[in-house]
Structure 1
Amino acid sequence: MAAPGTRAAIVSRREQVAKSLKEVEAKRNGTKVTLELKIARAGLSWTRSQFYMISAVLALVVGAGAFVMTGGPLVAAGAVFAGGLGLPLWILTFLRKRRIAAFIKELPTAIDIITRGVRAGIPVGDCFRIISREAEEPIRTEFRLVVEAQTLGLSLGEALVKMYERVPVSDVNFFGIVISIQAKSGGNLSEALSNLSRVLRERKKMAGKIQAMSMEAKASGGIIAALPFVVATLTYLTSPDYISLLWRTDIGKLALLGSAIWMSIGVFTMKKMINFDV
C-alpha cells in the first residue's frame, strides 16, 4: 500500500499534467488561420502582396487562354475567377499536403535523435539545434524556427505551439504536448519520447497496411467511374447520331444530369468507405 505522501505526490502530478494539457489545448484552439499562415503551411516565403500579385497573373493567363480557346466572354470571366481565386488556393493546399506528408515521414527520426541525445546527457535545446542543421526538409526548417523562437524569448512549449500552427497534424500535437508536460511537470523525457516515436511508427505502418488493403477498392472505384466515359466515347466514335441525343434533347440532358448526380454519389460513397483516419 502506498504511503500517504506518495499518493499525494501522484495526485499532485496528475493535476499538473491535466492543467498542462488544458493550457496547451487552449493555445492551439485559439489559432486563427490567416493567409500568411496558409502560405507558411505550404512552405513558401511569399508575402500577402506577392500572393495577390501571383493570383492576378494566374487570373489573366487562365482567362486569356479560355477566351482564345472558346471565344466566349462568360467562359473567360469564369476562368478569370477560377484562376484568380481557386487555382492559388489549390496550389497552397497541394503544397501543404505534400509538405505535411514529408514532415510526418521524418518526425519519428527527429524524435529518436532527441531521445538518444537526452539519454546521452545533451540538453533538449542542443538536440533541436542538431536537427535544425542536419535533418531533411521540412523538419530542418521547422526545428530551426523553433530554435530561433527560443532565441527571441519564447519557451520551448510556446515555440512548439507555433510549430503546430504551421504543421497542423496530430503527430506534432502529441510531440508538443509531451515536451510541454515534461517541461512543467518533470519526468523521464527520453522514455516519453521513445514511446511517442514507437506510436508514430506503428501508426505509419497501420496507415500503409490500410492503403494496401484499400487499393483493390480504389481500383474498382476508378474502373466504375471511368466506364461510362469509355462507353460513351466508343459509342460516339461508332454511332455519333445515336448518342448525340443525350445533349441535343431535353430528356437526354436530364438523363445526363441525373446520371452525373448518381455517379457522384456512388464515387463519394466508395471514397468515404475506404478512407480511414489512423
Structure 2
Amino acid sequence: MENVILFMVLYLFSTLFFVLVGMFILRQSIVNKIDLRIKTYVPESLNERESLEEKNKKFKTPTLITSIGALIKGLPMNTKLKKKIEEAGLPIKLEDFYVVRIGSAVIFFLISILLKYHIIISIIFFVIGFWLPILYVNHKRNRRLARCVNQLAETLGIMANSLRAGFSFMQAMQLIGKEMPDPIGTEFERTVQDIAYGVPIEKAFENMVTRLPDKNLEMVLSALLIQRKSGGNLAELLETMQETVLGRVRIKDEIKTLTAEGRISGIIITLIPVALGVYLYFVNRDYFGILLEEPLGLLILGLSVFFLIVGWFVIRKIVRIEV
C-alpha cells in the first residue's frame, strides 16, 4: 500500500512538472520569435539603453525555470547545443531545455528509488533521463534535415517553372515560402523577410544554411550566388541542380539500403548484452547482484560498457558513407 501511495505521488509530481514545462514552452515560443527578430535587426546599443535599475525591476521576481536556467547558462557546450535546438526547429530557450533535462533525470531517478533498485541502477536511470531530451532533439533535427533533402528537388522544380512563367527570383522564393511545408517553406519565408529588412542576400543565404545545415542546400545556394555575379539562364540552372539533387538522393538511398544489414547488426550486437544483463537482474538478482556488490564485478561491468560503446561507434563509422 505504501508503494502504491508513493507511486501515485511520483506520478502526480511528474505529470504536473511536464504540464507546467509544456505551458511555459508554449507561452515562450511567441516571445522567442519576437526576441530573435529584434536581436537580428535592432543594434545592441539600442537594447542596452535600458538602465540597470529598470532591468532589476523587470526581473525582480524570476520564475523557477528562469532562475535554474540562469545558473547553467554559462556552460561551454551551450553554443553547439543551442545550434542543435535551432536546427531541430524547437521553440524553446537553451536554459529552459536544461531545466527539462534536469527534471527528466530527477523523475527517472525517483522512479528507480521507488522501485528499490540498486544505487548504481538508479544512477544509470538518472543519466538516461538526463540524456533523453538530447536524443529527442537529435531525432527531431535528423527528421527535419531529411525532410529538407526530400523537399529541395521539388522546390527547385517549382522555382524553375515560376521563372519561366514570368516570376522574378524573389517572387519565386516567396511562392516557396507560402506553398512548401516546414522546413524548406519556413526557411525560405524567413530568408525573404531577412532580405526585405535589408540583410544582404549573401548573408541571408548564409543564415539559412546555418539554420538548416544540408550539403545539397548549401550547394544550391552557392550556385545561385555565383549565377547572380556571372549571369545566365537561371531557370535552366535550377533544373540542372534539380537533376543533381535527385541523383544524390538516389545514390544516398542506395547506400542506405546496402548498409542496412551492417546497421541492424550493430544495433543487435549492442543491445544483446544490455538486454541479457537487464533480464538477469530482474529474474535472478542474487546471481547478477555479485557484479554490483564486488569491486571486481564493478570493474568488469565498467570495461564491458566501455568496449560496448567503442564497438558501437566503430560499427557506425564503418557503415556511415558520406555522399
Q: How high is the TM-score relative to the length of structure 2?
A: 0.63
Q: Which region of structure 1 is more displaced relative to structure 2, 248-257 or 202-211?
A: 248-257
Question: Which position in structure 2 is the counterpart of 1:246?
Answer: 291
State the one-letter code of the partner of 1:267: W
Within 2, Cα distance between the matches of 1:169 and 1:245?
Answer: 49
Matched pairs, number: 243
Give the aligned partner of residue 25 of structure 2: none
Deviates most, 124-133 or 190-199: 190-199
* Matched-pair contact (CA < 8 Å) for 2:156–2:242: yes
The alpha-carbon distance between structure 1 residues 34 and 211, as it changes in their structure 2 partners (threshold 3 A), is: closer
SS in structure 1 at match of 2:181: coil
Q: Which has the higher contact order (CA 8 A, sep 6+)?
A: 1
Range 119-128 or range 34-43, more displaced: 34-43
**Are residues 75 and 55 of structure 1, via their aligned partners in 2, closer, same or farther at CA, if it must alter by over 3 Å?**
farther
Q: Specify the code of the residue in structure 2 equivalent to 1:126.
A: Q
TM-superposed CA distance for 1:180, in Å, is: 0.5
Stretch of structure 1 that moved more, 130-139 or 147-156: 147-156
Q: CA deviation at 1:37?
A: 4.9
Structure 2: runs of 5 or more not aligned:
1-78
Whether the 8 Å CA contact 1:55–1:88 is kept in 2: the answer is: no
Does the Cα contact within 8 Å between 2:112 and 2:122 map onto a contact in 1?
no
Given candidates 222, 239, 242, the residue that maps to 1:194 is 239
Identity of aligned residues (%): 26
Cα shift readout 1:235-254 (whole Å, capped 9, x = no counterpart): 66776655444334333333
Contact 2:291–2:301 at 8 Å: present in 1 too? yes
Partner residue of 2:175 out of 116, 119, 130: 130
Q: Which residue of 2 aligns with 1:148?
A: 193
Of 95, 101, 106, which aligns to 1:63? Answer: 106
Q: 1:60–1:80: 8 Å Cα contact kept in structure 2? A: no
| C-alpha spacing 1:89/1:265, structure 2 compared with 1 (3 Å) | closer
Q: What is the CA RMSD across the aligned residues, in angstroms?
A: 3.5
| Cα 1:232/1:34, change in 2 over 3 Å | closer
User: TM-score, normalization: structure 1?
Assistant: 0.72
Work out the CA distance in 2 between the residues paired with 1:234 and 1:75: 13
Instruction: Report the CA distance between 1:231 and its aligned residue.
Output: 4.4
In the other structure, the counterpart of 1:29 is none
Tell me if structure 2 keeps the 8 A contact 1:246–1:256: yes
Mapped partners of 2:315, 2:100: distance in 1: 38
* 1:269 matched residue in structure 2: 314
Give 1:163's aligned residue. Answer: 208
Match of 1:216 in 2: 261
In the alignment, the residues of structure 1 paired with residue 158 and residue 88 of structure 2 have an alpha-carbon distance, to the nearest angstrom, of 25
Check whether the contact 1:64–1:76 (CA below 8 A) recurs between aligned residues. Answer: no
Gaps spanning 5+ residues in structure 1: where? Answer: 1-32
Give the match for residue 43 of structure 1.
Answer: 89
